[in-house]
Amino acid sequence: MSQKKKVFLSLSDGEWDCLSKTAERRSESVDELVSEAVKKQIAADRAKALKNGYEEMAQINLSLAEACLTSDEQALSEYEEKLTECE
């Protein structure tokens, strides 16, 4: 079981009122509500980092594919040239 750490927050009266009313409306404690919000933010940050990583990798893959395509086209051209010489 993971240990829990205590966190102290400084909130304005308006923020506290909103937080406590939301917790009451959901029949949750403020601790549970804040913990849920933190977990959601961590998941959103992780998803964003993964998305950025996949986009960067896509650019790298595209560059490699384009470089290989140029090389393949050159090899095909040389092969066709040799074939026409044999005729």
pLDDT band at 1 (very low <50, low <70, confident <90, very high): low
Backbone CA torsion sign across 55, 56, 59, 64: negative
pLDDT band at 7 (very low <50, low <70, confident <90, very high): confident
At residue 28's C-alpha, the angle toward residues 47 and 2, to 5°, is 60
Calculate what percentage of the chain has a pLDDT beyond 90. Answer: 64
All structural domains of the chain with their residue ranges: 15-86
Task: Find, among 9, 12, 14, the residue nearest to 34 by Cα.
Answer: 9
pLDDT beyond 90 at 4: no
d(C-alpha 46, C-alpha 15), whole Å: 26
**9-22 pLDDT per residue, tens:** 999 999 999 999 99
Question: How large is the angle between the packed helices 30-86 and 13-25, nearest 10 degrees?
Answer: 90
Provide the pLDDT for residue 32: 93
Contact criterion met (CB below 8 Å) for 32 and 25: no
Q: Where does residue 30 rank: exposed (0-12), middle (13-18), buried (19+ CB within 10 A)?
A: middle
pLDDT band at 29 (very low <50, low <70, confident <90, very high): very high
Per-residue pLDDT, averaged over 47-65, amounts to: 96
